[in-house]
Structure 1
């Protein structure tokens, strides 16, 4: 035991671990991780140790102050979680990079997802919402998750890939089954071989070969476009961009990065929107406020509602890091080299200290004020915070506004939908059902 800055630091042990066999810890986390983490948090507090499949010995953090320590740590000491989604997305994905390489790639990716660039995409957000909504039934339950998945997919294919015509149609055929399969495989140990074309990994590899061929043809088409220098899709912006040394991204890296932007921004944004419809249909006072605001040019309450949906129905429930330093001080604990640290986002979002009556859905708590930085972290935090966060936020805002302007959502007193875990995202189990009528 050592005294540091006048306080006692426990340097002789890790955070506590539940008195449950390690194999049961892993099974519980794999099949019902929100429930498992809730149970362990009640018994062990806001920081504890578990042994997990894929990640091994891990420290789980459910406290904003400790989350800040993890997110703001020197990236040489605490870096990219291992393994990560690059197993599915490719070695050129930003998920695969660390340190200087990661910083330079983020610098290249940031401009297309901020300010004026996103403003240019608002028309696409609205067009795709109206295109999808044209076939929605009136007066009968509509499962919103799949329509939202199609909207967010088409938005990304147009705004990010710059695809149209035959390229757009082919990507629409390839991407949905790839996302579904990739999401399920992302949380499983990766075999050393694909195990043949009839195995899940073999099918994923086959989708990837078709995708790589299509992206190669799409890059050629974009470069050959007479308006190449004025195009505002992300693919064109990446093709025109260079690193500080004047070098450009390779075709393989561009393909991996486009797939990353799609994989990270397609299902997660759709799930948040589906939860938004599920939540507001069960809170008539919130729905009435949103409907009134949608007829104006303001969006303060709608933004507050989106923040509250992200809080009470967290889509991605963990953000992870890997300890590379010999040890890492975390609050009163010291985490050894080789451990994973997982920030339990869903538990951070439900702390009564930051959010009184945390189970209550109340957008008013965010009206006129932004949430505390490390108490509300749907996009993660620090240097690895989602680069497309602003893009997703504007997309959700425009989609929700468009639906509210063209449809009446019927309130319901049905029980709230339970959560379904799809491998990466947590979605409404019944698909976010609502009953709509055209205005």
Structure 2
């Protein structure tokens, strides 16, 4: 038997390590790096024994590792999203589902969703209080939820209203359950019982949407993702089951709704504290440009990552990973905040500086808000398009008032890490511009 070679780490009991991780999510990994270096071994609830890494070469090796050596981390969001979700699928089943669902989120398909993004943004922003401080996160949540309901679920009317009420509660409860080591013990009561009740309501709505869509004589002309799922076929000609469609639709919501909204709230929080960047962005919008705005979204995701970790579970007897030899049963976790905060990779890493991404696209083994490898978020291009258009609409239509207040602290919402005060903002309506300064309705598909 090959002897494991693991990095050092704390020796205190698992429960204490878990408590520390929950109460000090970002300061905790910083302290670990100071004490043990760029890699360390932990023993925490949910994941058990895990090696935490932050070296780009080791991260690249992990993301390129074959599934039979290291696969989807266990446990994962699949326990709340369902057996047919991307988070639960492994191996060939995951590959086939990914191949089926990549097309709706790339290329020309994105252009069809841009109008929806702008319409929902303009509608929500019209309700903003002018001249008074307010938290933008709830507003961003409503925007991204409505976008997903229209673009992904194809919902409208009564089903739209039902999902708009149901989904935030379902995702919020599932997010908390996924972050806690609570077993599903069955029964009607308790956290899991209440979650299952919400899930049954969701499944009933989705089944009605699927049945309606299957009877739609114009199904082939529709652009929503539900319609595309119903039209798609595996290599053997078979179709996705209704249950798998429900699981994947919920996955798209959970992976895209809260995380995208939270990043937008962080964007507001960062821009109010960097008036020079804010002025440049407004000037760019007025001139019809987008390069700085796209770089700003990338930088917000770097300096304020919404997710703590991505990782894999070791399936082989051992996995060689750079300096380490990790045994079966261990997890390997990539600390997103540690690599994003590394001065050797991003000079002056703690400074908010979108210009670092103006002339170079981020290295996807160093900038990893969407994960990496064959499990990188399938909706990354959609999310970036969505955030870029929401930010464009904000800068075009409103004056965002800078502030000298201290940075908002991090606040864990279960899976996502949000600004503690919700991304506070003060806005004023901008004067309507005409002629050459008026923006086009869309900018074309963004990648």
TM-score, normalised relative to structure 2:
0.94
1:97 equivalent in alignment to 2:89: yes
- Range that drifts further, 153-162 or 15-24: 15-24
Shift of 1:370: 1.1
Shift of 1:32: 2.2
1:187 equivalent in alignment to 2:182: no
1:162-241 equivalences in 2 (<5 Å) = 162-197=154-189, 199-241=190-232
1:120 equivalent in alignment to 2:109: no
The equivalent residue for 1:398 is 389
> Which digits, 9 at most, give the CA deviation of each residue in 1:22-46, with x for residues without a partner?
4322221133222221111111111
Native 8 Å contact 1:113 1:391 kept in 2: yes
The equivalent residue for 2:153 is 161
Shift of 1:19: 4.5
The equivalent residue for 1:420 is 411
Native 8 Å contact 1:30 1:53 kept in 2: no
**Structure 1: tracts of 5 or more residues without a match:** 3-10
| Partner SS for 1:49 | strand
The equivalent residue for 1:261 is 252
1:23 equivalent in alignment to 2:12: no
Native 8 Å contact 2:302 2:369 kept in 1: yes
Paired positions, count = 430
Indicate how the Cα distance of structure 1 residues 57 and 230 shifts in structure 2: closer, same or farther if over 3 A, else same: same
Native 8 Å contact 1:228 1:236 kept in 2: yes
Runs of 4+ residues over 3 Å off in structure 1: 19-23
- Aligned mate of 2:61, from 55, 61, 69: 69
Shift of 1:372: 2.2
TM-score, normalised relative to structure 1:
0.96
1:250 equivalent in alignment to 2:241: yes
Native 8 Å contact 2:4 2:318 kept in 1: no
Shift of 1:396: 0.2
- Range that drifts further, 34-43 or 81-90: 34-43
Measure, in 2, the Cα distance between the counterparts of 1:194 and 1:136. 43
Measure, in 1, the Cα distance between the counterparts of 2:18 and 2:266. 28
1:135-146 equivalences in 2 (<5 Å) = 135-146=127-138
1:407 equivalent in alignment to 2:398: yes
Measure, in 1, the Cα distance between the counterparts of 2:397 and 2:217. 37
Measure, in 2, the Cα distance between the counterparts of 1:69 and 1:420. 31
| Partner SS for 1:437 | strand
> Which digits, 9 at most, give the CA deviation of each residue in 1:342-391, with x for residues without a partner?
00011110100011111100101111111222111110100000000000
- Aligned mate of 2:308, from 306, 317, 320: 317
1:388 equivalent in alignment to 2:379: yes
- Range that drifts further, 180-189 or 51-60: 180-189
**Structure 2: tracts of 5 or more residues without a match:** 431-447
Shift of 1:196: 2.4
Indicate how the Cα distance of structure 1 residues 49 and 438 shifts in structure 2: closer, same or farther if over 3 A, else same: same
Query: RMSD of aligned C-alpha atoms?
Result: 1.3
Native 8 Å contact 1:328 1:336 kept in 2: yes
- Aligned mate of 1:84, from 63, 70, 76: 76
Shift of 1:294: 1.2
Measure, in 1, the Cα distance between the counterparts of 2:53 and 2:303. 18
| Partner SS for 1:70 | helix
Shift of 1:177: 1.0
The equivalent residue for 2:48 is 56
Measure, in 2, the Cα distance between the counterparts of 1:147 and 1:22. 38
The equivalent residue for 1:7 is none
| Partner SS for 2:368 | coil
Measure, in 1, the Cα distance between the counterparts of 2:329 and 2:245. 30
- Range that drifts further, 424-433 or 11-20: 11-20
